[in-house]
Amino acid sequence: MGTSVGLFGGTFDPIHAGHIAAAQAAMKALELDEVIFVPAGDPYLKSVNWDVTPAVQRQEMVRLALLYEGVNMFKISDVEVLREGPSYTLDTARELGSGGGNVVVILGMDTVLTIPGWHDPAAFLSECRVAAITRPGTDLSDFYSLPIDGTEGQIELVMADTPAISSTEIRRCVFEGMAVEGVCPPVEQFIRSNGLYR
């Protein structure tokens, strides 16, 4: 059977309590042995929307958050940070799953809805088992109407009571000099000391 591993990729700009809660929900629902957080190196779909923080700093924030949480089943991988060019989830799943383990790609529902615009979405869904993290009360009509074959068979819905917080909101609060909620103290200190989001 092998180890059951969740790959939790993301920009993590910054990582926050919602990410941690989603990982915990996926681990419990899917009975995963570990969750590997994979900060994106070059998040080609998001880098057009804002000035994404350098990968090494986002990776360090993930490292600090996981250390703070103290969950020994949470790991971090720098596979995408070290990879040159755009980060494709399919490549990462292939690389990290090459050891024969059972790999599940963990995605937030907002990210799942962008899959049609991904690099080779059909191959991704045919090769990868996907867990879509949703909040209670989420409208799933957009999910069920995704224009890709195989979504219902390959994507498993995981309901998670995650806090209503977003990286976008955290960046805005820092920029406006407001109190920041949802990030652990070491990550908040890293943001302040490195002058991020100003």
User: Does any domain span residue 186?
Assistant: no
User: Does any domain span residue 58?
Assistant: yes
User: Does any domain span residue 171?
Assistant: no
Q: For residue 106, what are the CA distances in angstroms to 24, 173, 184? A: 11, 27, 22
Q: How many residues belong to the chain?
A: 198
Return the bridge partners of 105, or none.
7, 130
Write out the residue range of the structural domain in which residue 45 sits. Answer: 4-163
User: Does any domain span residue 121?
Assistant: yes
Q: Return the CATH number at 134.
A: 3.40.50.620
Chain mean pLDDT for the chain: 88
User: Does any domain span residue 132?
Assistant: yes
User: Does any domain span residue 194?
Assistant: no
Q: Is the model's pTM score more than 0.85?
A: yes
Higher pLDDT, 102 or 188: 188
Total of domains in the chain: 1
